[in-house]
Amino acid sequence: MPQDRASQTGIQLRSTPASKAPAQLARQPRSKTVRIQPAIKAVPSSAAFLFLHRWHTALMTDKDPVQPTDDEARALARSLLHDATFGALAVIDAATGAPSVTRIAIGTDPTGAPVTLISRLATHHTALTADNRCALLLGEPGPKGDPLTHPRMTLHCTAEFVASGTEAHAALRAHYLASRPKSKLYIDFPDFTFLRFTITGGLLNGGFGRAFRLAPADLVAALTG
């Protein structure tokens, strides 16, 4: 029977006992100890702290947290209305009676009152046909900072549809096109109609701790300017 190559060369192969294996082969990797740092509590900004302090103080003293409306607040409200190109419209759903919100384009009529152009196919058109009470939210956050520090305004309104073929519709169409030239692509679609909002009141939030109630007269400069 032929011998293997180890026998032919006179080399003897011996297995190394585990007890005599090199120390580095017997070493096991050590698990690393991970230290968990305690969570650091967020420190509120000075503006947020001031707001919370005023709010808490008002609750403790039964004081109305809404401040008296001054000229600065009126100017801010008029600016938000004048500069708005879109906003959120809140309506009451005709089928369920639940509140519903959508985003719409915002413009003004020749008197400065807010208006929009909507399709009769939209659910908010159906809602306003059944109940013309609604609300607008105007004012968008800037590119930086806490969104709640940027001013915004809620306007309580009643909505009125402007009938096509009337002088009021023609005047509104011309005024709307002048400020929104791209709307010429759809302004004359048969399902589109103008909607004018009559402001009945509102609430201005100028940032943390700066809340003001608004009456229609507070916006009179914007509505007649």
pLDDT tens digit sequence for 160-214: 999 988 999 999 999 999 988 999 999 999 999 999 999 999 999 988 778 999 9
Using the 8-state DSSP alphabet, how is residue 67 labeled? Answer: B
Output the pLDDT for position 41: 43
Residue 137 lies in a domain: yes
- What are the tokens at 34? 């991970």
Ranges of residues in the chain whose predicted pLDDT is under 50: 1-11, 13, 15-16, 18-22, 25-26, 33-44, 225
Output the pLDDT for position 48: 60
Residue 215 lies in a domain: yes
Query: How big is the chain by its Cα radius of gyration, in Å?
Result: 35
Residue 60 lies in a domain: no
Residues of the domain holding 110:
78-141+150-224
Output the pLDDT for position 65: 80
Residue 131 lies in a domain: yes
pTM over 0.85, yes/no:
no
Residue 65 lies in a domain: no
Here the CATH number for the domain that contains residue 106 is: 2.30.110.10
Residue 25 lies in a domain: no
Residue 16 lies in a domain: no
Angle, alpha carbons 219-54-206 (nearest 5°):
25
